[in-house]
Amino acid sequence: MQELTHYINGTHVKGTSGRFSDVFNPATGEVQAKCPLASPEELNAAVAAAQAAQPAWAATNPQRRARVMMEFVRLLNRDMDKLAEALSREHGKTFPDAKGDVQRGLEVVEYCIGAPQLLKGEFTDGAGPGIDIYSMRQPLGVCAGITPFNFPAMIPMWMFAPALACGNAFILKPSERDPSVPLMLAELMEEAGLPKGLLQVVNGDKVAVDAILDHEVIQSIGFVGSTPIAQYIYGRGCSNGKRVQCFGGAKNHMIVMPDADMDQAADALVGAGYGAAGERCMAISVAVPVGDETADRLIAKLVPRIEKLKVGPYTAGNDVDYGPVVTAEAKARILGLVESGIAQGAELVVDGRDFKLQGYEGGFFVGPHLFDRVTPEMDIYKQEIFGPVLSTVRAGSYEEAVKLAMDHEYGNGTAIFTRDGDAARDFASRINVGMVGINVPIPVPLAYHTFGGWKKSGFGDLNQHGPDAFKFYTRTKTVTARWPSGIKEGGEFNFRAMD
């Protein structure tokens, strides 16, 4: 049985709390490793090392910091398959999907190579007689990130890459369900030239999270996970005077207009709804066809596609469509919600409850499910299922479809499939959702734009990656300078305007 470690001050450190969490192989259900759960004292040691290392890193010019990011990109490409295999083994993703996880994180690192440009301040020459005003973007100090199980490579890089590029040190608390890849990323960052102590990986549970939230040295916290925990972290972190950004749950709607290409829409829904076994915060979990005729055509296209999905372990080849969910508890919760949908009157068109995979009976596999005639009061509509379950809510009109998405408490992502440019423009303008796709089912922005949801999907005023990341991980200092010439004048006691 492998015993994993923390990564503190450039060294793999065994846990000392005596508490561990099981790391499963989701395809077999077997425990493959033990993950140490940090005590507050272990977290304090990591913070102390980060605090000691950060001033020299902040004093390193941005171009040199960017060169570390350049080398890190090279190493990520070199070790892409190794990282993806470790990710698939612990999370259950297919191998191509795991590589995509690493790749989307890598793209944010590439964006951070532009740190010298992104960290430039502003300058006003001659703001007053002999007076110049300029601003500087300076690092916060020690920052922290609490990341989820579903993207163990991408989301840590979304956080620590811009934080480090800005001159901060970073404490990463990854999910205890799949912690190996974050440990590997910390090793690669130091191989790329990052000084020891600047990127610490502290594995843990709520004990470690609360220690992060209450630690007076930690200046900012990023979080991605469920909405209840996002609200908890945001409230407690802000009350402790920290800068906090939290991203929570989602219920992403895809509106299908009568004029849409139904084959294109069906393909998009299958990929967006069932990819990664639905364990994505940007997964499409609600299809909203406009009109019964549209709904009937869409269901007819979806059923054969869903019934042909290949479900299996990542070792079964690159033609596997999706793998297991992450834990037995996740599987039980998904199937429980499926049963609630049936009990509350939804029509189960594709029934995956009896799915079994020969040779992997102990794995956490969930067959694909498709519901039709779902209504807004049902649990399968209100709750984030985070599994391979697609619900169809029939709308009588475009306005009714838009209202469904707008009235839902979550506002992470949404999409519309149509050939009508006017409808698409209206939808993009009016919808109260943070990320919008037009004939694009999963509208995750590229690294040089920002990622973030609205309503109960996001807490805080700045998004992840893109320009917002460099704002979040720095604070602005404004300097007003005067270099008088001639004889020094006496003090002034009135607050004078700039003439």
Q: What is the DSSP string of 315-361?
A: GG-TT--B---S-HHHHHHHHHHHHHHHHTT-EEEE--TT---TT-T
What mean pLDDT, rounded, does the chain reach? 96
In a domain, 471, yes or no: yes
pLDDT on residue 316: 94
**Among candidate residues 190, 192, 187, 182, the one with its CA nearest the CA of residue 157:** 182
Summarize the confidence of residues 308-330 as an average pLDDT: 96
Q: Does 397 lie in the same domain as 384?
A: yes
Condensed to tens digits (0 to 9), the pLDDT of residues 63-105 reads 999 999 999 999 999 999 999 999 999 999 999 999 999 999 9
In a domain, 446, yes or no: no
Tell me whether residue 498 is in a domain: no
Do 149 and 267 belong to one domain? no
Residue 488 lies in a domain: no
The count of domains in the chain is: 2
CB 273 within 8 A of CB 390: yes
233, 343: one domain: no
- Residues paired with 478 in a beta bridge: 135
pLDDT of residue 130: 87
The answer to the question of residue 51 being in a domain is: yes
Tens digits of residue pLDDT in 11-22: 999 999 999 999
Q: How far is CA 201 from CA 24, 186, 195, 340, 437, in A?
A: 20, 7, 14, 39, 35
Q: Is residue 11 part of a domain?
A: yes
* pLDDT reported for residue 486: 60
Residues 188 and 316 in one domain: no
* DSSP characters over 293-310: HHHHHHHHHHHHHHHT--
Active site residue 281: yes
For residues 22 and 46, membership in a common domain is answered with: yes
What is residue 498's predicted lDDT score, i.e. its pLDDT? 54
Residues 353 and 387 occupy one common structural domain: yes
Assess whether 341 and 415 both reside in one domain: yes
Do 192 and 170 belong to one domain? yes
> What phi-psi label fits residue 317: left (phi over 0), alpha (psi between -120 and 50 degrees) or beta?
left
Least confident of 171-185, 302-316, 352-366, 474-488: 474-488
> What pLDDT band is residue 301 in, cutting at 50, 70 and 90?
very high
From 190, 211, 2, 180, select the one nearest 98 (Cα to Cα).
180
Residues 181 and 284 placed together within one structural domain of the fold: no
pTM: 0.94
Q: Which domain holds residue 287?
A: 252-438
Confidence label for 31 from pLDDT (cuts 50, 70 and 90): very high
Residue 126, classified by CB atoms within 10 Å of its CB into exposed (0-12), middle (13-18) or buried (19+), is: exposed
Can you tell me which residue has the tokens 């006496």? 490
Task: Answer whether residue 450 is part of any domain.
Answer: no
**CATH at residue 408:** 3.40.309.10
159: domain CATH number? Answer: 3.40.605.10
What distance in Å separates the CA atoms of residue 258 and residue 289, rounded to the nearest whole number?
Answer: 8
**291, 333: one domain:** yes
Whether pLDDT at 484 is above 90 = no
The per-residue pLDDT for range 132-184, each reduced to its tens digit, is: 999 999 999 999 999 999 999 999 999 999 999 999 999 999 999 999 999 99
Please answer whether residues 456 and 249 qualify as being in contact, where contact means their C-beta atoms are separated by less than 8 angstroms. Answer: yes
Q: 10 Å Cβ neighbour count for 134?
A: 15
287 and 366 belong to one structural domain: yes
- Which residue of the set 35, 166, 246, 281 is catalytic? 281
Distances (CA, A) of 319 to 50, 104, 301, 335, 358: 43, 21, 21, 25, 17
Same domain as 333, residue 262 = yes
Please say if the pLDDT value at position 304 is more than 80. yes
Rounded to whole angstroms, how far apart are CA atoms 465 and 467?
Answer: 7
State the alpha helices, DSSP H only, in 178-320: 180-191, 206-214, 227-239, 262-274, 292-307
Domain-located, residue 444: no
Sheet with 284-289, strands from edge to edge, namely 347-350, 369-372, 389-392, 284-289, 252-256, 413-417, 435-438
Helix or strand or coil: residue 148? coil
